[in-house]
Structure 1
Amino acid sequence: MIDDLSGVWLGRVWLPEVNGPAVVTLRGGELIDITAKGAATVSEICEKDDPAGFVRNAGGKSLGNLDEIASAHPGDLSKCHLLAPCDLQAVKACGVTFARSMVERVIEEKAGGDPARAEAIRERIGAAIGDSLRNIRAGSEDATRVKEALIAEGLWSQYLEVGIGPDAEVFSKAPVLSSVGTGAEIGLHPVSSWNNPEPEVVLAVSSDGKIVGATLGNDVNLRDVEGRSALLLSKAKDNNASSAIGPMIRLFDESFSLDDIRRAELTLTVEGEDGFVLNGHSSMSQISRDPQDLVSQTIGRHHQYPDGFMLYLGTLFAPTEDRDIEGEGFTHKMGDIVTISAPGLGALRNTVRLSTDCAPWVFGISALMKNLAARGLL
């Protein structure tokens, strides 16, 4: 789950004895509760001048071995278990930040969300667009020329606009405190029949726009819903348990920085109850917009986040491998186990269910504030 114990890690667990969350770090394979006044939330720690230094030197008590706590089912409130490592931060996401996935969004749009039509469209325009965009920097003069050429060919799309145009796609992925952590069930809206996981790096950003760390995320994608209309993005992206983040935030320090994120190699494995296995990959070196630019387009004088935010950076992964029916590509089945991993960031593991079958989200901001107040932490 955590592959580098030398890193400075920050996360959250559920403590049954207080019926609420605790802020934790990892030391020698043990989860250490560092919750205290002035450090009652992950958001509060990320706002400090030196989050990594604060966590490294914070006092606390051991809650037990990470692997043992991680094995507890998140739905069992009687046991200590891992939560998503963010709390009061807004959860934002960037889309269409890789050329290959951008091509798939164009295909989804042209197919109107119909996977049977997608293969024919992919053969007609996929390779040409992908080759044209492979080495183009978003917002550049080269990108403008490609845009003009595609318009002339009748292939222009709103997805290509945000993929190579000057403005990135940034949207609200999930409400505050609604994300699930590793080990939890991840939800698909029941109206969807064509969907896939999206393995992504997720940045932890403070209220002044400073990137303080990173973790992994699954930005579940309903290809048929968004393919019918981009105006259905919120329905496609924001559903019960549809945002998975974890296992823990690795804070930036002298041994781990944004440059490591720029070089990150993400691996995806989907294991179905039917014996199906899908392997995927996303390489951050191929992103068409630098992570710092994506943060700058999210926060500034145009938009503030007083408690900071988490930012999904998008994915290169766009599965086309057939699962059942030839030409219809991949889609999830209930019970799929999705594992997303990257060296230095650990592994995020979730089981696919319908959003209507996942545990309902009931612990919101007011519940957190009441819980912290009752514990004398505010």
Structure 2
Amino acid sequence: MRYYQRRLDGGTRLLAVADGSAYDLTFAKPGVDSFGALAEAAHVMDRTLDEVAQPLLETAETLPLQQVESEAIVPLVAEEVWAAGVTYQISEEARTEESGMPEIYVDVYDADRPELFLKSTPDRTIGPGQAIGVRGDSEWNVPEPELGVVLYRGDIIGYTIGNDVSSRSIEGANPLYLPQAKIYDRCCSLGPCVTTDIDDPHNLDMSLTIYRDETVVFEGRTTTAEMVRSCEELVSYLTRHNAVPELTVLLTGTSIVPDDEFSLQPDDTAVIDIENIGTLRNPVTGV
């Protein structure tokens, strides 16, 4: 199933899409009013998300699928969003190119231990249709489309799309500036849903399209089969000696890197598609 959140009458409602139909799970069970509430119930009952949601479909109100997708907000409130770096060869090459100390990226690409860093918090994370931000003190800013692994108490329960918006000029000036290049207002978007319908997360088509004045200024495609690390490996390192919050998202890195001459501008639109998950579309604003 795919799980969406929407706002209605001042509250949040959880919706599920199954077999092409959309269901309001909160209508069937008012206590299940968020993805977090469903994840908690599944944990308490020692069942999967879908096993808990399936019986609710019988009494849930149905909605047009297009309405659910158009009204979707950020699909979960992740207390922490983490990200992995240099998990694709092209990412290693791009960060080597931007940095005055390229050897550190070569070293981490080949190392046993992956690069992991804190990416975002709830106040900095936005959902589909909301504006991602580019820093005013950075002249080189890019979107980074990534498969997001959704964790509940450290266990993988689903997948989403993430945009790890990055200030490449800041990180390139000095790797110690990475937190400033990665963590700031509107630095991360998630959505449009969390899906459990992924048989193999390491074999998904992914694309990024950037529009400027309704004209395509960048297009790129890849597959998660190009990842040099597995989702399970990245999660195992994230949770070593690190008690992550109940709901956490781990972004798994990117292999779609715009040309060095390209930088996001306010009023651009970034559109990320990942097979079996959906489309995450965000306009761009300055922060």
1:150-174 CA distance string (max 9 Å, x none): xxxxx86222232221211111111
**Corresponding residue to 1:294 among 234, 242, 246:** 234
Give the Cα separation in 1 of the matches to 2:149 and 2:217: 28
2:182 matches 1:279: no
1:177-212 CA distance string (max 9 Å, x none): 5421111111111112111111110011120x3211
TM-score, length of structure 2 as denominator length: 0.89
* Matched residue SS, 2:122: coil
**Following TM superposition, by how much is the alpha carbon of 1:64 offset from its aligned partner in structure 2, in angstroms?**
3.4
**Following TM superposition, by how much is the alpha carbon of 1:45 offset from its aligned partner in structure 2, in angstroms?**
2.3
What residue is the counterpart of 2:50 in the other structure? Answer: 52
Instruction: Trace 1:66-145 onto structure 2 (pairs within 5 A).
Output: 66-71=65-70, 81-110=71-100
Letter in 1 for 2:50: A
> Compared with structure 1, are the counterparts of its residues 196 and 156 closer, same or farther at alpha carbon in structure 2 (3 Å cutoff)?
closer
Unaligned stretches of 5+ in structure 2?
none
**Following TM superposition, by how much is the alpha carbon of 1:312 offset from its aligned partner in structure 2, in angstroms?**
0.5
2:6 matches 1:13: yes
Letter in 1 for 2:4: G
What residue is the counterpart of 1:41 in the other structure? Answer: 34
Give the Cα separation in 1 of the matches to 2:31 and 2:137: 43
1:256-308 CA distance string (max 9 Å, x none): 33x2x1001101111111734211123211111111100100113x0112413
2:103 matches 1:157: yes
**Corresponding residue to 1:267 among 207, 214, 218:** 207
* Matched residue SS, 1:233: helix
What residue is the counterpart of 1:22 in the other structure? Answer: 13
**Following TM superposition, by how much is the alpha carbon of 1:62 offset from its aligned partner in structure 2, in angstroms?**
3.2
Check whether the contact 1:170–1:298 (CA below 8 A) recurs between aligned residues: yes
Check whether the contact 2:21–2:62 (CA below 8 A) recurs between aligned residues: no
Instruction: Trace 1:153-302 onto structure 2 (pairs within 5 A).
Output: 157-176=103-122, 178-207=124-153, 209-252=154-197, 256-257=198-199, 259=200, 261-273=201-213, 275-300=215-240, 302=241
> Compared with structure 1, are the counterparts of its residues 68 and 306 closer, same or farther at alpha carbon in structure 2 (3 Å cutoff)?
closer
Check whether the contact 2:84–2:253 (CA below 8 A) recurs between aligned residues: yes
Identity %: 26
Check whether the contact 2:80–2:245 (CA below 8 A) recurs between aligned residues: no
What residue is the counterpart of 1:303 in the other structure? Answer: 242
Give the Cα separation in 1 of the matches to 2:265 and 2:77: 30
Letter in 2 for 1:166: D
Letter in 1 for 2:39: C
Unaligned stretches of 5+ in structure 1?
1-7, 72-80, 111-154, 321-327, 356-378
* Matched residue SS, 1:82: coil
State the 4+ residue runs in structure 1 displaced beyond 4 angstroms.
Answer: 35-38
Give the Cα separation in 1 of the matches to 2:266 and 2:114: 33
> Compared with structure 1, are the counterparts of its residues 194 and 178 closer, same or farther at alpha carbon in structure 2 (3 Å cutoff)?
closer
Give the Cα separation in 2 of the matches to 1:350 and 1:45: 26
* Matched residue SS, 1:167: coil
Q: Which entry has the higher C-alpha Rg, 1 or 2?
A: 1
Give the Cα separation in 2 of the matches to 1:156 and 1:340: 28
Give the Cα separation in 2 of the matches to 1:37 and 1:88: 21
Give the Cα separation in 2 of the matches to 1:11 and 1:203: 16
Give the Cα separation in 2 of the matches to 1:183 and 1:339: 10
Higher percent of residues as strand: 2
**Following TM superposition, by how much is the alpha carbon of 1:61 offset from its aligned partner in structure 2, in angstroms?**
4.0
